[in-house]
Amino acid sequence: MNQIACFLLVLGAVGCSGNGKELLFEESRAIAGDFDYRPADMKVAPDGSYVVVGEFENEITFEVGQITETTLTAQSQGAGFVACFTAGHALRWAALVDADVDAEVCTVDLLPDNTCVVSGRYRGTAVLGRGEANETTLPSGTLAGLADSDVFVARYNSNGTLAWAASAGGPQNDTVRSIATFPDGSCVIGGEFIDTTMTFARGEANETTITNAATRSMFVARFDAAGAFSWARTVSSDFVSRLGALTVMSDGTVVAVGEFSLEAFFGTGGGLTGDEDDMFLAWYEGNGELKAAFATSENADAIDVRGVAETAPGIIAVAGSFQGEITLGTTNQSILQSADRFDVFLCSINVADGSLRWAARAGGDDDDEARDLHVGSNGDLYIVGEFRGTLTVNGTVLTSAGSDDAFAAGYSPNGTPLWAFSGGGAGNDQADGVAELGDGSIIVTGHFVGPATIAGMPFPGQAGDDMFIAVYRP
């Protein structure tokens, strides 16, 4: 029988028990402040610790009332945070990413030495590692100065001190969606930029400007282990385009997935044609050379790609949401039909030719959206997100408590649904990140508004968004 051990980390842990569930913490801790806190991503390190990143308003306090109590204070409208917790769920360290206007840490990945790389966006001038030996100030490169955002990438040592930070940007809004690491400590990031150009390594000998060939472009860029810029590539579309996620494969290549409308152009590597809203797969060598690109869906009214992960050499799983009827894969295709509005999809694709291996759908009577995907050590797949109304995963029907609720679901390596659970309250609640702990437990992070029930256990809420972490023991 599955067990759910759950605790609320509203930047301090709240113990919970009852309903026959296992108690993870016996003490309760409170949060200082009545503002918004939103996690964006989470990864687990080889030593069992884990890192959560996101954004907050005004200030955020971890471990309230404990010896390790730590408060981060934003100097502006909002700031980003990077928080590392031990395998026993105690705060190890927390770092602030601050800027003149606001900042957000959007994505994180970890390295074998328990260091982490993060990426996000900021407006104005950003400061990372304030007061440390490697304190870094990142200038705004936007035309409007403070109105639009640039992107940053940074590496933190295992003790939470800043190792390095770098930025990139253009005249208008630039956004980062995903980050992934190579075994040598380098990393690759992906996102979008608007307007004509985006510049990397500004003011350095290898300063590089990529050009937007259309209305909106996506970028994939690599930085070495010391933070030096290596290369950048573009994916452009005259219409809607968005990079959803990327991953580094076991052979050192990079796979990026996202969505485009009608056409997509891959620098000098050719282009794709599609329908109103299609999914693409772009496959790069480690040096940035495009190996192949495919349109891996067609016919959908809309698609939103959110997660990608390697499941075996040359094979990836992709998760996201779609509306209408969608045909997945270049060959061996499968057709999924949404129940009404957005439904969740999960599929397995061969990278070499874009052919489909299998596809699964989960949905209900309103919008259902996937937010993250993780592959477990045994090959099982875990997806999280939010739904409204009901969500049916195989024969399991989840019902929201009010507006949007968070959900998590597990699938076997061949796409068979294994389990699903949900949590939330009357407000808008969602799960944002999922990973696996060393003992095989699945850890989920997300946010909720007001009182909510997560994994069958009630939690109080402050004003605005609060953050939760739930540990699921299959």
Range of 83-92, 136-145, 365-374 with top mean pLDDT:
365-374
Alpha-carbon span 331 to 328, nearest angstrom: 8
Higher pLDDT, 185 or 24: 185
Query: Taking the CB of residue 131, how many other CB atoms lie within 10 A of it?
Result: 6
Cα separation of the two ends of the chain: 8
Reported as a single tens digit per residue, the pLDDT across 394-408 is 889 999 988 899 999
User: Is the pLDDT at 425 greater than 90, yes or no?
Assistant: no
CA atoms within 13 A on the CB side of 129: 20
Q: Biggest alpha carbon distance in the chain?
A: 62
The pairs formed by 364-368 with CB atoms below 8 angstroms and a separation of 24 or more are 364/339, 364/340, 364/388, 364/389, 364/390, 364/391, 364/392, 365/339, 365/340, 365/389, 365/390, 366/340, 366/341, 366/390, 367/321, 367/341, 367/342, 367/404, 368/321, 368/341, 368/342, 368/343, 368/344
Reported as a single tens digit per residue, the pLDDT across 183-226 is 999 999 999 998 788 999 998 999 999 987 666 789 999 999 99
| pLDDT score for 337 | 94
Higher pLDDT, 324 or 272: 324
| pLDDT score for 435 | 95
Query: Taking the CB of residue 48, how many other CB atoms lie within 10 A of it?
Result: 14
Q: How confident is the model at residue 390 (pLDDT cuts 50, 70, 90)?
A: very high
User: Is the pLDDT at 84 greater than 50, yes or no?
Assistant: yes
Q: How confident is the model at residue 141 (pLDDT cuts 50, 70, 90)?
A: low
Residue 18: both structure tokens together: 């009852």
Percent of the chain with pLDDT over 70: 88
User: Is the pLDDT at 2 greater than 60, yes or no?
Assistant: no
What residue segments make up the domains of the chain, in order of their start? 37-460
Q: For residue 30, give Cα distances in angstroms to 11, 18, 179, 460.
A: 8, 20, 32, 10
User: Is the pLDDT at 18 greater than 50, yes or no?
Assistant: no
Alpha-carbon span 25 to 364, nearest angstrom: 34
User: Is the pLDDT at 454 greater than 60, yes or no?
Assistant: yes
| pLDDT score for 122 | 95
| pLDDT score for 464 | 66
Alpha-carbon span 36 to 449, nearest angstrom: 9
Return the closest-CA partner of residue 130 out of 84, 194, 74: 74
Least confident of 83-92, 140-149, 275-284, 341-350: 140-149
Q: What region does 282 belong to: left with phi over 0, alpha with psi -120 to 50, or beta?
A: beta
Query: Average pLDDT of the chain?
Result: 86
Alpha-carbon span 193 to 335, nearest angstrom: 32
| pLDDT score for 213 | 65
Q: How confident is the model at residue 11 (pLDDT cuts 50, 70, 90)?
A: very low
3 state SS of 28: strand
Q: 101 Cβ partners below 8 Å, 6+ apart?
A: 76, 77, 122, 123, 124, 146
- DSSP code of 336? E
User: Is the pLDDT at 455 greater than 70, yes or no?
Assistant: no
Alpha-carbon span 449 to 456, nearest angstrom: 16
Name the class of domain 37-460. Answer: mainly beta
